[in-house]
A and B are shown apart, each in its own frame.
Chain A
Amino acid sequence: GDSVTQMEGPVTLSEEAFLTINCTYTATGYPSLFWYVQYPGEGLQLLLKATKADDKGSNKGFEATYRKETTSFHLEKGSVQVSDSAVYFCALDSNYQLIWGAGTKLIIKP
């Protein structure tokens, strides 16, 4: 069945560092891909999405490109802030259901 694999955390960076969180997927067809973010004590919020190959989703300085050839959707940000500390989830849309990665905790130190 469809699945999502993301890099294990926690990922610890200093403020203003470059961020990459890897996400790869296995799916039949061409699903939509998402990154959700969960801040401490809160529910999940959609961060960005891409609905077809080569689409780039972007929001709040974060970007991810839908790469069909490598079945990847890596999350990047050029300069992280302390306020970006959260858990990030990669997901794909499979027949009304979201298939989730395990989540990657990101810790940004000032």
Chain B
Amino acid sequence: NAGVTQTPKFQVLKTGQSMTLQCAQDMNHEYMSWYRQDPGMGLRLIHYSVGAGITDQGEVPNGYNVSRSTTEDFPLRLLSAAPSQTSVYFCASKGNSYEQYFGPGTRLTVT
């Protein structure tokens, strides 16, 4: 199993550009989520999904969209990038156990 994969690893955007961060898991997990990690603030939940076709907002959803058309994939879209979205983004999935499995992260810089 590859676990949770994320692409790209690094990305630089200009203010106003849009892009999609990709996340995929091969563990057949129903629950998937996106977090952002900022220094001194831990992880904050952006959006999550409890299954294909179902998504919901987390703590900091503004400026981000998600969709879940398959169990495996959960892309995160930045509609119009802003410098405040400079962060490290982690995708995670969870099966029936308590453990969340994290991807390696995407480091995004918005200039």
Which residues from chain B contact A51 at a C-beta distance below 8 Å?
98
Q: How far is the CA of A93 from the CA of B33 in the complex (A)?
A: 14
Q: A32-B98, A49-B99, A101-B42 are in contact. Are A96 and B90 (CB under 8 A)?
A: no
A-B contact count (CB 8 A): 44
In the complex, A102 Cα to B90 Cα: how many Å?
15
In contact, A46 and B100 (Cβ under 8 angstroms): yes
Q: Mark B13-51, 1 if CB is under 8 A from A, else 0.
A: 000000000000000000101000000111111001010
Q: Which residues of B contact A44 (CB under 8 A)?
A: 43, 90, 92, 100, 102
Question: By the criterion CB–CB under 8 Å, are A43 and B99 in contact?
Answer: no
A100 within 8 A of B: yes
* Residues from chain B with Cβ under 8 Å of A96 in the complex: 31, 48, 50
Whether B50 and A43, one on each chain, are in contact in the complex, defined by CB atoms closer than 8 angstroms, is: no
Q: How far is the CB of B74 from chain A (nearest CB, A)?
A: 14
The answer to whether the Cβ of B75 comes within 8 Å of any Cβ in the partner chain is no
CB-CB under 8 A for A46 and B99, given A89-B43, A96-B48, A101-B42? yes
Residues A34 and B103 in contact, CB atoms below 8 Å apart: no
**Are A49 and B98 neighbours in the complex by a CB distance under 8 Å?**
yes
Q: Is B61 engaged at the interface, CB distance under 8 Å to the other chain?
A: no
Question: Shortest beta-carbon distance, A17 to chain B, in Å?
Answer: 25
* Cα(A85)–Cα(B63), bound, Å: 34
Rounded to whole angstroms, the CA-CA distance of A46 and B102 in the bound complex is: 9
CB of A102 within 8 A of CB of B98, answer no
| Residue from A32, A43, A97, A102 in contact with B103 in the complex, judged by beta carbons closer than 8 Å | A43
Using a CB–CB cutoff of 8 Å, the interface residues on chain A facing chain B are 4, 32, 34, 42-46, 49, 51, 89, 93, 96-98, 100-103
Residues of B within 8 A of A (CB): 4, 31, 33, 40-45, 48, 50, 58, 90, 92, 98-100, 102-105
